[in-house]
Amino acid sequence: MQHPVRPRRSVLYMPGSRQRALEKARTLPADALILDLEDAVAIAEKDTARSLVAAAVREKGFGRREVIVRINGLDTQWGEADLEMAAFVAPDAILIPKVEDPDTVTYVARRLATLGASDKVAIWAMMETPLAMLRAPEIAASHPRLACLVMGTNDLVKELHAEHTETRTPVITALGLCLLAARAHKLAILDGVYNAIKDEEALAQSCRQGKEFGMDGKTLIHPSQIDVTNRIFAPSPEEIDLAKRYVAAFREAEAAGRGVAVVDGRLVENLHVETAKRLLEQAEMIGALEADLAAAAE
Ligand SMILES: CC(C)(COP(=O)(O)OP(=O)(O)OC[C@H]1O[C@@H](n2cnc3c(N)ncnc32)[C@H](O)[C@@H]1OP(=O)(O)O)[C@@H](O)C(=O)NCCC(=O)NCCSC(=O)C[C@H](O)C(=O)O
Ligand SMILES: [Mg+2]
């Protein structure tokens, strides 16, 4: 299944039980929104949250941004009803929490087919337990409907009996395993949340680290985290300028019968040009998304 490439710099969780947050979502500049039925929702509010999320997805009004519904685990009393609701209202994706086994993904894919869900509804998988890390390659290869892995670093740190540190050394291996699995199977991958809502500099550092690793973006818990995340995960004007010059220089070199070019004293081969083209495509998609949001705000 060919999944559309979308900007996913900032992907905001919002509790499905909070009507106000769901309304506010339509005005927030996050690239994608996860309407959460799982950990952000108290047990007493699970059924109300399911109805609120169903209404929010049906009402639309999110423009080009992706809307994802995180269901409760299928081993809980709410999971199946969440899945049925999501299949019916058809968000861009359904996010399964605590996936540990490829069979969980294939089960959800089968249920979506049985429930008659649109083919456009993708499956995303939360990677947040030690077993998920060890089975990352099988999970990533489990079903063509799977489009994205989402790191759940809060649960992972808990399960590892580790600590949240600024350098994230305790979870580096886990992030690396999931990145390898995602890229090997052409899936998108999103970094975990940063819990200290008011610490913008530390969030920025965490975003820079995620971007360097190769993450497509970061999951967020508060609207105040969106702008800095968007800025860091977007290609900078300097990167865009360099990418354009790589493409132009390589085209000229090819026309002259050469397979390599030199830009700013650096070797440029076809593989660098592919990276440059991907960056330019990403910048274009971000531009279109931001223009859409600006038009909606007028
Ligand atoms: C953390 C919060 C509980 C803070 O909420 P609140 O006290 O209301 O914050 P503010 O007063 O600063 O809010 C200002 C306005 O912003 C809106 N708001 C706040 N948070 C969100 C949000 N996430 N999405 C949309 N809008 C939001 C408020 O409504 C205020 O609006 P207004 O009324 O117009 O002033 C809260 O931010 C929150 O609940 N965040 C999400 C928590 C969550 O989703 N947690 C679960 C996912 S994280 C996770 O577990 C990942 C993974 O599974 C893992 O294991 O790592
Ligand atoms: Mg979690």
CATH number of the domain encompassing residue 174? 3.20.20.60
Q: Are residues 49 and 162 in the same domain?
A: yes
Checking if the pLDDT of 26 tops 90, the result is no
Number of folded domains in the chain? 2
Read off the pLDDT of each residue in 130-153 and give the average, rounded to a whole number: 98
Q: Is residue 180 part of a domain?
A: yes
Assign 3-class secondary structure to the chain.
CCCCCCCCCEEEEEECCCHHHHHHHHHCCCCEEEEECCCCCCHHHHHHHHHHHHHHHHHCCCCCCEEEEECCCCCCCCHHHHHHHHHHHCCCEEEECCCCCHHHHHHHHHHHHHCCCCCCCEEEEEECCHHHHHCHHHHHCCCCCEEEEEECHHHHHHHHCCCCCCCCHHHHHHHHHHHHHHHHCCCEEEECCCCCCCCHHHHHHHHHHHHHHCCCEEEECCHHHHHHHHHHHCCCHHHHHHHHHHHHHHHHHHHCCCCCEEECCEEECHHHHHHHHHHHHHHHHHHHHHHHHHHHHC
Interval between CA 245 and ligand 2 midpoint (Å)? 42
Confidence at 297, pLDDT banded by 50, 70, 90: confident
Checking if the pLDDT of 288 tops 80, the result is yes
Tell which one of 13, 14, 222, 225 to mutate to probe ligand 1, the residue whose CB is within 8 A of the most ligand atoms.
Answer: 222
Q: Are residues 151 and 95 in the same domain?
A: yes
Nearest Cα residue to 27 out of 226, 191, 198:
226
What is the pLDDT at residue 232? 98
Atom of ligand 1 nearest to the CA of 39: 46
Checking if the pLDDT of 210 tops 90, the result is yes
Q: Is residue 5 part of a domain?
A: no
Checking if the pLDDT of 205 tops 80, the result is yes
Share of the chain above pLDDT 90, in %: 91
Who's near 74: CB < 8 A, 6+ residues apart?
80, 83, 96, 104, 107, 108
Q: Is residue 272 part of a domain?
A: yes
Q: Are residues 103 and 18 in the same domain?
A: yes
Q: Are residues 99 and 163 in the same domain?
A: yes
Q: Are residues 180 and 245 in the same domain?
A: no
CA 228-52-75 angle, to 5 degrees, is 90
pTM of the model: 0.96
Q: Is residue 1 part of a domain?
A: no
Interval between CA 14 and ligand 1 midpoint (Å)? 6
Confidence at 286, pLDDT banded by 50, 70, 90: very high
In this structure, the residues whose C-beta lies within 6 A of any atom of ligand 1 are: 12-15, 20-21, 24-25, 36, 39-40, 126, 128, 152-155, 192-193, 221-223
Which domain-ending residue is among 181, 211, 233? 233
Q: Are residues 229 and 241 in the same domain?
A: no
Distance, CA of 277 to CA of 185 (rounded, Å): 20
Q: Are residues 271 and 220 in the same domain?
A: no
In sequence order, the β-bridge partners of residue 13 are: 34
Read off the pLDDT of each residue in 7-16 and give the average, rounded to a whole number: 97
Which domain-ending residue is among 188, 207, 233? 233
Which domain-ending residue is among 205, 233, 261? 233
What ipTM describes this predicted complex? 0.97
Q: Is residue 4 part of a domain?
A: no
Confidence at 9, pLDDT banded by 50, 70, 90: very high
Q: Is residue 26 part of a domain?
A: yes
Q: Are residues 213 and 258 in the same domain?
A: no
Q: Are residues 60 and 124 in the same domain?
A: yes
Q: Are residues 33 and 53 in the same domain?
A: yes
Read off the pLDDT of each residue in 253-271 and give the average, rounded to a whole number: 96
Confidence at 60, pLDDT banded by 50, 70, 90: confident
Work out the mean pLDDT of the chain and round it to a whole number.
96
Its domain, for residue 57, covers: 10-233
Confidence at 45, pLDDT banded by 50, 70, 90: very high
Q: Are residues 208 and 242 in the same domain?
A: no
Q: Are residues 144 and 280 in the same domain?
A: no
